[in-house]
Structures are given as structure tokens and as C-alpha cells.
Structure 1
Amino acid sequence: MYRISAETPQDLYEIEALFDLCFAPGREALSSYRLRDDVAPVGYLCHVARDGDGILAGAIRFWPVTVSGAVSLLLGPVAVHPTRQGEGLAGDLIRLSLERAGRQGWARVMLVGDAPYYRRFGFEKLPGVVMPPPTNPERVLGRPLRPEAWHGVSGEVGRWQGEALPPD
């Protein structure tokens, strides 16, 4: 059994070590990281999962971005320790966070990932939404948190420039 809770500043080093373990070296060179540079994550959507002994098993983060001016969430990274994979923990983190994002009034969320995996959470390819290069457009996925939230939203994904994080 895992306890999922909000990420705290004390979790930072463990989470970064988990991301280093789960993702390829140079993960911070990916274009999605340029959208995160000097931008604070949406703290109330970032969660950690710990086992009964308090050991970090998984983590998820969200960042504010814009798509041609439309406020959006960028999901990622999400990671589960290799010894805990296959237990459904990533799915639990994703579902919990998406539910909370919807309750908080966010309209849409996007990510860069594998469509066959993320389809089970309601994500689909976002035609016309362009991540900074080099990003495979087939991996740019989105999910509305409100009906029709992606309707008419297209263009380049940009860094969040605002100070506050009001959902649209």
C-alpha cells in the first residue's frame, strides 16, 4: 500500500534522484525542460507516493504552459521506481492529479509521451499543437478537463510568463 501526498520541499532531492534513475541521461536537455526553466511547478498538483516505510516509490509533476495564449497544464515527469513498476502506481498518480486539476478549474492538460500508454487516461494526439523542437509530433498528447477544452486550441507551446497560476 502506498500513501500519496502533496510534494514538499523536503522531497526535492529524492524526486530528482528518482527521475535520474528512471529517465535517460541528459533528460534535462529535452525541449519540455525548456518550458520548465525558471517556472515553478503547479505545487498542489505535484504528488509523491511512499510505501509503508516512507520510501519514495513514485512522483508526478505539472507545469503551467501556454498554447497560443491558452493556459494549459504540462504533465511530467511522472516516474515510478523500477522495483515498483507494474503495480499501477503511475496510473494512481495520474488519475489523482488529473481529478484534482479538474476540481481546481484547469481546462486542459498535455504531455509528451506514448499514446498507447496514455490513451487509458483519456489522452489523444493534439494535431496543431507544436512543442519546441526536437519533439516528435506524434507524441504530443492532450486531454480536456472540461468538455471541448482543446477545441480550437492550436499553435506553439510556450513558457508560462505569468506570476499567478489562474486556471482559465
Structure 2
Amino acid sequence: MAAREALLDRAMGPGRKRKSSEKLRRGRRPSEGLAFVAKDANGTLVGTVRLWDVRLGTGGTALLLGPLAVDPAVKCAGIGSKLMRLAIEEARRLGHAAILLVGDAPYYARFGFTAARTAKLAMPGPYERERFLALELVEGALDGAAGTLKPSGRKTKPARVARAA
């Protein structure tokens, strides 16, 4: 969706595709039923969040949330919080056990995210350890979890190429 990519570029800047989280999303589709957008009264996209399936180094699974982005023109209107609550509740309803993300700890703490459950986990590539956070949707879901996250879930379909006769 071109509108989502344009919003992500405005909200996150040009370096967004070099982040460790992007390595886990590249070539994958969001987890089934876990891609959300917010639109204004005119139907313009003003917010987005998606969750992605990942495999923990020790073999378990979790979701990776991100990016959460809100159009800078409407920041502080509660759109990000509403998208977060929706994403968490829907992930819980669909039976997922844990959500991981890399983000601002004070912002995500209000939703229950903490760095305490990610101490033995790692992202592929550079990241700031104190920003690697987790929320267990099922108590104990990350007990014993260790190692580097790996992408999993549905792959994107390769673009079809028309061949000239």
C-alpha cells in the first residue's frame, strides 16, 4: 500500500529501512489479521501498525510489532495509543502469546512492555538493548526464550513478470 509507505517515510525518516526490525520484516507479510490503519474523516491514512511472526532463537514463536507510525501532522491525538491497544487485544484474541518490539521504553511501558523479558533474546543486526521490549500475552510465554530472532510466517509473493513473446 503506497499510502502506508509514504506515511512511514514521513513519520520515521529515510533511515527506517536499515533498522534491525526491518530485516525481520523484509520479504514477509504481516501476521494474519494483524495489520491496522487509522484514517481521518476524509479517508486519509494517518496511522498504521503491523505485527509480524518471528521465531525465537530457542524455537518458540512471538510477534514483532512495528513500525507504529502516526502522521506528524496529527501526533498527540491518541491515534498511536488506540492502534496499540487494538493490536494487543487482537493478538491476544487470535491466541498469540507474546509481542516484542524495539521502541521508546517510557512510551510502551504504559501498554505493559518491559525490557525484563528480552535479556536473553537478540535482534539481528545493531539495536539498542534498552529499547528491546516485550509484552507477554500469556504469562510465562517467554520463560527460557533465548537467542536471535528469525523471520517466520507468510512470505510475500514474488512480483509476476510478463514475458514478451
Could you tell me the TM-score, scaled by structure 2's length? 0.88
Q: Which residue of 2 aligns with 1:55?
A: 44
**Deviation per CA, 1:42-73, whole angstroms, max 9, x where unpaired?**
14111110111111110111111111211110
Distance 1:25 1:48, change over 3 A: same
Q: 1:107 aligns with which of 66, 85, 97?
A: 97
- Whether 1:138 and 2:130 are equivalent positions in the alignment is yes
Counterpart code for 2:122: V
The whole-number CA distance in structure 2 between the counterparts of 1:49 and 1:163 is 24
**Aligned partners of 2:87, 2:26: CA distance in 1, in Å?**
22
**Inter-partner Cα distance in structure 2 for 1:163 and 1:61:** 14
| Higher CA-based Rg | 2
Compare relative contact order (CA 8 Å, sep 6+) and give the higher one, 1 or 2: 2
1:163 CA drift (Å):
5.0
Asked whether the 8 Å contact 2:50–2:66 carries over to 1, the reply is yes
Q: Could you tell me how far 1:29 is from its partner in structure 2?
A: 1.2
* Counterpart among 51, 54, 76 of residue 86 in structure 1: 76
1:154 to 143, 146, 156: 146
Matches of 1:99 and 1:106, distance apart in 2: 10
1:120 corresponds to 2:122: no
Query: What amino acid is aligned across from residue 96 of structure 1 in structure 2?
Result: L
Query: What SS class does the counterpart of residue 73 from structure 1 fall into?
Result: strand
Q: Which amino acid aligns with 1:111?
A: L
Q: How many pairs are equivalent? A: 152
Higher strand share: 1
Deviation at 1:25, TM superposition (A): 1.0
- Which ranges of structure 1 fall in alignment gaps of 5 or more residues? 1-11
Q: How does 1:12-51 map to 2 (within 5 A)?
A: 12-51=1-40
Aligned equivalent of 1:65, options 54, 60, 65: 54
Tell me the C-alpha RMSD between the 2 structures.
Answer: 1.3
- SS of residue in 2 equivalent to 1:63: strand
In structure 1, distance between residues paired with 2:93 and 2:106: 26
* Amino acid in structure 2 at the alignment position of 1:46: A
What is the match of residue 97 of structure 1? Answer: 87
| Residues 143, 150 of structure 1: 8 Å contact kept | no
1:129 aligns with 2:118: no
